[in-house]
Amino acid sequence: MSEQKHAGGCLCGAVRYEATGPLREVTVCHCGQCRKWHGHACAYTAVDNAKFKLLKDADLKWFASSDRAKRGFCAKCGSSLFYRGNTASYTAIAAGTVDGKTGVKAVRHIYVADKGDYYDIKDGLPQLAQH
């Protein structure tokens, strides 16, 4: 039996990726960097780096958002796509960039101490002040 594959990419299609195997359940991040990067909180799934493959990446750019991590985006359309810690064994994928059904659910909110004052979190999921 072959492993499940998930494809995805940016809004314009210039960056495409494939993740093989199960995706991690979704974490919703409310930190200041994610809110600035995505325009709001971001929902991230993830996959082991060994099971992550870029299919089209000529327009993929990486931005060092801190001394610990970088963020991947499409230089053509501006879509924010990935978060990767410098020493992480996985790539976090903006869940909304996965094509079709993901098979995962949101399971937690992190950095809620930094969330915007213009919304409330009322879904009953665990809320961590930091990570």
pLDDT in tens, 31-88: 999 999 999 999 999 999 999 999 999 999 999 999 999 999 999 999 999 999 999 9
Question: Quick one: tokens of 97?
Answer: 């960039």
% pLDDT > 90, the chain: 95
Whether CATH 1.10.238.10 fits 5-114: no
Q: Domain boundaries in the chain? A: 5-114
Predicted structure pTM score: 0.93
| Residue 2 binned pLDDT confidence (cut-offs 50, 70, 90) | low
Give the span between the Cα atoms of 14 and 18, in whole angstroms. Answer: 14
Q: Which helix (H) or strand (E) holds 61?
A: strand 60-64
